[in-house]
Structure 1
Amino acid sequence: METNSSFLIKKRLGITSPAITKTTPFAIAVFTIAILLAYHSVFSHQFQMYWDDQWVVFNFYTENGLTTANLHDIFTQFFHGQYSPVNQLTYTLIYAAAGADSFRQRFSAMLARLS
């Protein structure tokens, strides 16, 4: 038996038919496969030389990891005239998870976007 609150949530989201909830896993699978097909060529690319990969993606914030001092610096300092703490934090998290390998970095970034 469905609780009143879950019914209200489903109604608010427009999920009122049992057929919709049965097709949701299939729709998610199709969506995921479509994204993988669209981005499959990206995984063979390397980092660009003499572009922003060297100062945006790889810098001392990224390489210093997830320490308290580094997180403080990310949120309180400008780097090359730009203040982008959320972007830098994203690069730092991906670097912590994937290292400097371009395939693992792009795969981690794609997984983060899918979630």
Structure 2
Amino acid sequence: MLRFTVRSRDGQGDLDVTADLGEREPLWDGVFATPADARRFAGPLPYTFSPDEEGIVVVKAFRSSWRPEPVGIPRHHVAFLDRFDGAVLANAFHVSDVDYGWHRGELR
């Protein structure tokens, strides 16, 4: 079992998630049709952007050994999701030993 707890001053960023690393059955609440569909969203996007006075800064990420494994979530509370009517925790993955970082940003 792996538990993450975050408390924010206003409560809107609170998070309390317990993951069962021994349970490899993904969550299925009708959000994704297959594990492969869900896995496409298990990770950061390859680029991030930031506005700048002269344009936009584009930063590309790199990662290796990226093998997300679905995990069971026996209990969770994600305050951010409470803001959206009908929002659910659609899936959860565990990754470890990831070489992850960012390349230098480029102004465009």
| TM class, shorter-length | under 0.3
Q: Work out which of the two has the higher radius of gyration on C-alpha atoms and give 1 or 2.
A: 1
Q: Comparing both structures, which one devotes a greater share of its residues to helix? A: 1
Q: Comparing both structures, which one devotes a greater share of its residues to strand? A: 2
- The structure showing larger relative contact order (alpha-carbon pairs under 8 Å, at least 6 residues apart) is 2
TM-score after normalising by structure 2: 0.20
TM-score after normalising by structure 1: 0.19
